[in-house]
Amino acid sequence: MSHVLHRRPSVPSGTHPVETGRYTLSTPPLGRFCDALKDWVENRAVGAIVTAPPRFGKSKGIRFALQELRAALGEKFPVFSFSCQTHQHPTESRFFENVLSDLGHAFSDRGSANARQTRLTQLLIQQACVGDHRRLVLVADEAQKLQEPHYNWLVDIYNKLERHDIATTVVLVGQPELLHQRAAFEKTKKMQIVGRFMVHRHEFAGLRDQDEFAYCLKGYDEQSEYPEASGYSFTRYFRPSEFDAGWRLANEAEVLWEAFQHVRAEAKLPGKSEIPMQYFSRTVEFVLRTYGSVDDGTPTISLNQWKQGIERSGYREAGRYL
């Protein structure tokens, strides 16, 4: 088999995306999120909540979805994202510094709170007017960390943009606690917050069935390539002779789904049988790294090999808290 492996591209050990985890492939949950995001923007929705438990791939999903949005609406369409921070005593000055920094402003830490707010407003207005869109999208990741003062500061920004005839869509992405925050705001009649930022809702789900597993595994077979222009998908790189003979990782969807169900039953895991993307991808990566390099001509990956990958992913332990 060594003569087959020698044909592979030369990649330094430990740097392949399957080894580093630095890649994003299209998935059914991600596709649903992209569709929802495009619909909100095209229909000028004011605000939406996107929720998912930890490890469901929402942060990677945001980056992928924003790339897709820019591709659909044009690279000049203003799309911004920032990550919310945890502060025991939030201040307006620190909040605007964090947002400006994430948006790449060179002077994020200069001046008073009012000066930073003005700087952020001017940046957003300037970008929203490029190409005469007079629209922008602002995405807040880890939005469950936002407290009521943060929302009031965002309301100020939103209102200033509105006075400049700029339509803004704000998307809050975070853990399910966001829904509790919305309920609390509704109970206390804080409709200026709910009406601007929490009108629509989307749940970022895990992988729900064997067909969705097959869709994702097909990405390793066909929608990935490393090094660029090498002709080697992730699957082909790690199992070259089998791939060239016609075998595909997507063929293993049924066995992999069965393996996850075995682990769930053995561990008596609660909740819905939705597999977070992080544990799915870690399982696939482990199996490709561990068994792919052998490339012994075996046309399948065994149930026990998949279960070993699931165990190594940490799914059994984490599944109790999902």
The pLDDT of residue 15? 97
Let me know whether 243 and 168 are in one domain: no
Q: Is residue 23 part of a domain?
A: no
The pLDDT of residue 297? 54
Cα–Cα nearest to 137, from 78, 193, 84: 78
CA-to-CA distance for 47 and 216, rounded, in angstroms? 30
Which of 180, 203, 226 is the C-terminal boundary of a domain? 203
Let me know whether 192 and 285 are in one domain: no
Count of the separate structural domains present in the chain: 2
Let me know whether 139 and 59 are in one domain: yes
Q: Is residue 129 part of a domain?
A: yes
The pLDDT of residue 293? 54
Let me know whether 199 and 88 are in one domain: yes
User: Which residues of the chain fall short of a pLDDT of 50?
Assistant: 1-6, 295
Nearest-5° Cα angle at 248, 244 to 250: 165
Q: Is residue 53 part of a domain?
A: yes
Let me know whether 188 and 68 are in one domain: yes
- The token duo for 267 is 């561990």
Let me know whether 90 and 105 are in one domain: yes
Cα–Cα nearest to 141, from 199, 93, 99, 203: 99
Q: What is the pTM of this model?
A: 0.87
Which of 185, 203, 221 is the C-terminal boundary of a domain? 203
Let me know whether 74 and 156 are in one domain: yes
Q: Is residue 146 part of a domain?
A: yes
Contact between 120 and 153 under an 8 Å Cβ cutoff? The reply is no
Let me know whether 78 and 194 are in one domain: yes
Q: Is residue 258 part of a domain?
A: yes
- The CATH number that applies at residue 80 is 3.40.50.300
The pLDDT of residue 52? 87
Q: If DSSP codes are grouped into helix, strand and coil, which group holds residue 262? A: helix
Structural domain range at position 181? 28-203
The pLDDT of residue 3? 41
The pLDDT of residue 271? 79
Let me know whether 96 and 178 are in one domain: yes
